[in-house]
A and B are shown apart, each in its own frame.
Chain A
Amino acid sequence: MEKFKTLNSTVIPLANEDIDTDQIIPARFLKSTTREGFGKNLFRDWRYDSQGDLKEDFILNDPSYSGSILVAGKNFGCGSSREHAAWALYDSGFRAVVSSYFADIFKGNALNNGLLPVQVSDAFLETIFELVKQDKNITLKIELIDQQISIPGTNHKEKFKINANKKSCLLNGYDDIDYLISKKSQIEQFEQTHKEF
């Protein structure tokens, strides 16, 4: 997993609420047996029409927006547990998603893949949407060590929460499996007394 420390980027705003993982990547594109290459089908049915042509009114198809931060309406990533959603976002160059609420499984999947979910207040989210409406080139600064998100050039900033272990994993680029493997003897010991009925 790649390390995450600080991210400074323009944003792509996607104000829809309750964006489910079927939208992020539809089931018919989950047939690969590797983790790579899902980016080309990110938001497939929002990006392309049934003929396979780009839908010009969808924000990801608007070349005046770019960046590695997706800013989305509340309850982002609900529905299916498919980790392919996190892979598709990462594969498309996103390194952080900002929303006022994340679905649990998506949040965990994102963290396990170096994609930082930043949960902000409804008001802060609204501010980002407002400012980016006025100026597509505004940037967000996400500092993981300080757990702070700010909008450079303005007074807007906010602290965000992240589990301390997940934070340390992201900062150092390692994953939970390495840690759990180091606990093997303890797990074996647990099994000695654990009875499964």
Chain B
Amino acid sequence: MGKTLFEKVWESHIVDSIENEQEILYIDRHFIHEVTSPQAFEGIRRRGIGLFRKNKIVATADHNVPTKDQHLPIKEVLSKLQVDTLIQNCKEFGIDLYGLGHPYQGIVHVIGPELGITKPGMTIVCGDSHTSTHGAFGAIAFGIGTSQVEQVMATQCLLLERPKTMRITINGELQRGVSSKDIILYIISKLSTAGGTGHFVEYAGSAISSLSMEARMTICNMSIEMGARGGMIAPDETTFEYIRGREFAPDGAALEEAINYWKTLYSDEDAYFDKEYTFKAERIPTMITYGTNPGMGIGIDETIPDNDSDSFKKSLKYMNLEAGSSLLNKKIDHVFIGSCTNSRIEDLRVVAEYVKGKRKADHMKVMIVPGSKQVEKQAREEGIHQVLADAGFELREPGCSACLGMNEDKIPDGEYCVSTSNRNFEGRQGPGARTMLVSPLTAAIIAIEGKIVDTRNYVNKVATA
């Protein structure tokens, strides 16, 4: 029997299969950031051991950094301590750090791909659940806890049970104005927030292979939101073209040799998946979430469903919404465009293209946070920052920002935020904040209109990623 893409990559990284159904998996690249690494460094120190392969670790500061005045010292004392601790640890252990002030700084899942560090066939981990983003390249990439960060620092390996496999196939053509964010919100709404637990997902089909790399990253990024360990997409010409010429990517004969290998990374026709789902691209609407987990999503013109469970009722109460009602015309106070899901240059281009010559609704506060210094630079070079400024939007500096409200970028208690991020959990964007997840285009339209609208009436002339 043939092998799945997942099995091909996983099996090429097994150091040993041990009793008790666990395997020792070799890790090619380890990304670290300031929030989930300090306790791991402390563990390494306590054990009196060094790092096993320091050149396989790449560090950045993203979760806890301000998105304004990054050239000044961080004001918040504890945030500063955490960022300073990362700097100190990287210095002590000899790790490459793309911290504040570095031209490569940015959200860890944005900079890995854009620097050409992320490549097909790799195993990649990070103490962050959205590490699944890197799976868009045909890599096995997944989030780990801090104890595992320490394991990888100590041995470049993890002791793991092999996940089951799942394939989600989407064939056909997307409707105008529907983007990869809508695809993944749609999938999660069908499978639920636990539908992928224990599984590694492969996304396949014509609607996936026609997407750009950045759009693919958005899909793989949110695999964790249906509980999956990770998500991946078979590499193809789009992947190879994206990698070519990037800072740390191979070039010349090395690249050709790599591409020859990468071309073997696909699921064989007779490969077996533990679970399979198929969806039609034409059926996928523009999505928006109404509840407090990413599985609670509907088409933007649909009504909120009803459900008897206490958890569902609690969720709607938190959101101050009613079952059976429509979200259309609901006034929105904030729009956040950013996060490892949707903060790349294509996302900013979609937003800029739509808002060009328009002006945001008067009451609306719009925060746009680029995924990295490189994205920010590119946006300036393309004049996107001016288009956004003219529309009344604020382009800030890179970081995780209001996606998780760890820094000052928070949504006030009780107010609604339409967000391109990945989680609408209670309090995620600040205590009492009410988050609705959407695509960048939908966020841009709502920022201009000041309320939730049927976006199909607004996108006739727009091309989308």
If A31-B79, A75-B194, A187-B15 touch, does A18 touch B311 (CB 8 Å cutoff)? Answer: yes
Does any Cβ of B come within 8 Å of A143's Cβ?
A: no
Contact B310 A197 (CB under 8 A): no
Does any Cβ of A come within 8 Å of B128's Cβ?
A: yes
Does any Cβ of A come within 8 Å of B314's Cβ?
A: yes
Residues on A with C-beta less than 8 A from B427 are 22-23, 26, 45
The number of chain A residues touching the other chain, given as a range, is 35 or more
Contact A83 B261 (CB under 8 A): no
Report A71 CB to chain B, min CB distance, Å: 15
Contact A196 B28 (CB under 8 A): yes
Residues on B with C-beta less than 8 A from A184 are 52, 155
Contact B155 A177 (CB under 8 A): yes
Contact B144 A81 (CB under 8 A): yes
If A26-B427, A194-B26 touch, does A177 touch B257 (CB 8 Å cutoff)? Answer: no
Report A53 CB to chain B, min CB distance, Å: 13
Which of A89-97, A106-114, A146-154 touches B? A106-114
Report B436 CB to chain A, min CB distance, Å: 16
Does any Cβ of A come within 8 Å of B22's Cβ?
A: yes
Report A137 CB to chain B, min CB distance, Å: 24
Chain B, range 129-162, C-beta contacts under 8 Å to A: 129, 143-148, 150-151, 154-159, 161
Residues on B with C-beta less than 8 A from A45 are 426-427, 431-432
User: Which listed residue (B15, B119, B122, B143) contacts A183, Cβ 8 A?
Assistant: B15
User: Which listed residue (A26, A105, A183) contacts B129, Cβ 8 A?
Assistant: A105
Closest chain A residue to B16 by CB distance?
A186
Residues on A with C-beta less than 8 A from B285 are none
Closest chain A residue to B229 by CB distance?
A104
| Bound complex: CA A23 to CA B194 (Å) | 17
| Bound complex: CA A70 to CA B391 (Å) | 50
| Bound complex: CA A26 to CA B428 (Å) | 7
Contact B129 A187 (CB under 8 A): no
Does any Cβ of A come within 8 Å of B460's Cβ?
A: no
Digit string of B80-115 for contact with A (CB within 8 Å is 1, else 0)?
Answer: 011001000000000000000000000000000000
User: Which listed residue (B18, B129, B197) contacts A75, Cβ 8 A?
Assistant: B197
If A22-B426, A45-B426 touch, does A104 touch B82 (CB 8 Å cutoff)? Answer: no
Does any Cβ of A come within 8 Å of B457's Cβ?
A: no
Contact A18 B293 (CB under 8 A): yes
Contact B431 A33 (CB under 8 A): no
User: Which listed residue (A22, A33, A186) contacts B423, Cβ 8 A?
Assistant: A22
Chain B, range 49-92, C-beta contacts under 8 Å to A: 49, 52, 63-64, 78-79, 81-82, 85
Does any Cβ of B come within 8 Å of A155's Cβ?
A: no
Report B452 CB to chain A, min CB distance, Å: 24
Contact B42 A197 (CB under 8 A): no
The secondary-structure label for the interface of chain A is loop
Contact A101 B194 (CB under 8 A): yes
Digit string of B111-128 for contact with A (CB within 8 Å is 1, else 0)?
Answer: 000000001111000011
Digit string of A1-40 for contact with B (CB within 8 Å is 1, else 0)?
Answer: 0000000000000011110101100111011111100000
Residues on B with C-beta less than 8 A from A31 are 35, 64, 78-79, 81-82, 406
Contact A108 B250 (CB under 8 A): no
Chain B, range 1-60, C-beta contacts under 8 Å to A: 12-13, 15-16, 18-22, 24, 26, 28, 35-36, 38-39, 42-43, 47, 49, 52
Residues on A with C-beta less than 8 A from B309 are 17
Contact B423 A177 (CB under 8 A): no
Closest chain A residue to B260 by CB distance?
A197
Contact B431 A26 (CB under 8 A): yes
Contact A165 B293 (CB under 8 A): no
Does any Cβ of A come within 8 Å of B203's Cβ?
A: no
If A75-B197, A78-B193, A81-B144 touch, does A30 touch B35 (CB 8 Å cutoff)? Answer: yes
Contact B406 A103 (CB under 8 A): no
Residues on B with C-beta less than 8 A from A164 are 19-21
Contact B21 A163 (CB under 8 A): yes
**11 pairs of residues in contact across A and B, judged by CB atoms under 8 Å:** A17-B309, A22-B426, A33-B39, A35-B42, A75-B194, A82-B145, A104-B227, A165-B159, A175-B147, A183-B15, A187-B52
Which residues of A line the B interface, CB within 8 A?
15-18, 20, 22-23, 26-28, 30-35, 45, 50, 73-75, 78-83, 86, 101, 103-105, 108-109, 112-113, 163-165, 175-177, 179-181, 183-184, 186-187, 190-191, 194, 196-197
Pairs A-B, 5 closest by C-beta atoms: A33-B38, A83-B145, A109-B145, A31-B78, A197-B258
Given pairs A183-B16, A194-B13, A196-B122, 11 additional interface contacts (CB within 8 A): A33-B42, A79-B224, A80-B423, A81-B144, A164-B20, A175-B147, A177-B47, A180-B24, A183-B15, A184-B155, A186-B16
